[in-house]
Amino acid sequence: MIKVVRGNPTPEELAAALAVVRARAAAASAVPPGAPTPRDSWSDPSRIAAHSVPRPGPVSWTRTYWPG
C-alpha cells in the first residue's frame, strides 16, 4: 500500500512513482536467495590498501615534534 503523506500528485506522477517501486521490487525478487551481491567500490577494502604507505626516513625522528 502506498500512501501520499504530503502534496497532491497528479495521476501521472503517482503512476510513475508506482512504476519505479514495482520495478525495484521485481529486480530485488529476481536475485536468487544466497547469491552474492555486487560490492560497491567505496566499501572495497582493497581500494584503501592499493597504495603503499611511505616508510620513515633516517631523520624522520626530527619531524615528530614541532614546538608551538
pLDDT of 68 above 60: no
Tell me the per-residue pLDDT of 15-57, one tens digit each, with 9 for 90 and over.
999 999 999 989 888 777 777 777 777 777 777 776 676 777 7
CB 13 within 8 A of CB 6: no
Per-residue cell: 6: 504530503
- Cα–Cα distance between 4 and 68 in angstroms, integer? 59
The pTM for the full model equals 0.45
Q: Find the radius of gyration of the CA atoms of the chain.
A: 26
